[in-house]
Structure 1
Amino acid sequence: MIRIGQGFDVHRFAGKGEGFRLGGVAVPYHKRLEAHSDGDVLLHAITDGLLGACGMGDIGRHFPDDDPRWRDADSIGLLASTLRLAAEAGWVPVNVDGTVIAQAPKLAPYIGAMRQATADAMELSPGAVNVKATTSERLGFTGRGEGIAAMAVVLVESAPGRG
């Protein structure tokens, strides 16, 4: 059996900084992202999509932003925890397609590293992970440079021997 899940996340820029994490990769920028965890919108969207595909709710249910345990949490760790939950429920990821929406900074130089970091975290081949970046043509909060958004679709299948 196969199932698909969709995830979404957004974080606003909050003052000066040295950059942020995106897809498990450090992206230099003159602003930082406001977040309870490390604010990696791409990995949060992927985690949310994985939870959705497995019928396990959403990222806020498993890692609430009002719980001090998740303060400054590494999103690779949140994804790893979610992968364990999925495996325990009999699901394994097949592929991921993520889109980051940001007016700035330009993300093309980091896409390959994001694909590799995500593939490594999910124990997938890099060919099973796609990451794209786009702008919103200067429309909305991302277009005004107020924040970054990400969407992801995750395909899972029943683990071998699980049906």
Structure 2
Amino acid sequence: MRIGIGYDVHKLVPERDLILGGQEIPFELGLLGHSDADVLVHAIMDALLGAAGLGDIGRHFPDSDARYKGIASLKLLGEVKHKLELENYWINNIDAVVVAQAPKLAPYIEMMRQNIAETLGIKSKDVNVKATTTEHLGFAGRGEGIGAYAVCTIANKNF
């Protein structure tokens, strides 16, 4: 069994869609980034890649590469799944938390879990997503950005 941790943060800006866990969230601001800037999926990808000893998303999907401009992060998550499969790893579970003062995310969490699980080919019960605020402290509390943390466990199919 191997464990990975991931973290990502993006700035909130006008005129961008807010995508979290592959789910569009109605909000007046969205996240700035080269891709769709889905911080939740980015944190999960980094956790999975880290657990497998495969680096991070910047190594595999650099923002200097035009192929990834505006790409859906769930598509990149599918590519991460493929990279793990090539190394004979299967995903046991994922636990993640989104850190945002606003908007309220509770109504969207189940769909986020389903989107992530479907992309990875695992059961939604093996994907846990939580949301929290920072009680108005720090960049997230001031509404400047959104962050996400993720932890995962993977195992090698050969054992």
TM-score category, normalised to shorter length: over 0.9
Deviation at 1:16, TM superposition (A): 3.9
Gaps of 5+ in 2: none
Tell me the secondary structure at the aligned position of residue 56 of structure 1: coil
Deviation at 1:154, TM superposition (A): 1.0
- The equivalent residue for 1:14 is 13
- 2:6·2:43 contact (CA, 8 Å) conserved in 1? yes
Deviation at 1:66, TM superposition (A): 1.4
Which sits farther off after the overlay, 97-106 or 118-127?
A: 118-127
Distance 2:140 2:118 in 1: 28
TM-score, with structure 2 as normaliser? 0.97
Tell me the secondary structure at the aligned position of residue 19 of structure 2: strand
Distance 2:125 2:29 in 1: 31
For these two proteins, the number of residue pairs brought into alignment is 159
Kindly provide the CA deviation profile for residues 2-44 of structure 1, in whole angstroms up to 9, marking residues without a partner as x: 1010001100011244x31100111010012111000100000
CA-based RMSD? 0.9
Percent identity between matched residues is 49
Are 2:15 and 1:25 aligned? no
Distance 2:50 2:57 in 1: 9
Deviation at 1:112, TM superposition (A): 0.7
- Detail structure 1 runs of 4+ shifted over 4 Å in the superposition: none
State the AA in 1 paired with 2:140.
T
Distance 1:138 1:30 in 2: 18
Tell me the secondary structure at the aligned position of residue 115 of structure 2: helix
Distance 2:14 2:102 in 1: 15
Gaps of 5+ in 1: none
- The equivalent residue for 2:109 is 111
Describe how 1:71-82 pairs up with structure 2 within 5 A: 71-82=69-80
- The equivalent residue for 1:63 is 61
Deviation at 1:48, TM superposition (A): 0.5
Tell me the secondary structure at the aligned position of residue 34 of structure 2: coil
Distance 2:129 2:14 in 1: 27
Describe how 1:80-159 pairs up with structure 2 within 5 A: 80-159=78-157
Are 2:3 and 1:4 aligned? yes
Distance 2:15 2:89 in 1: 41
TM-score, with structure 1 as normaliser? 0.95
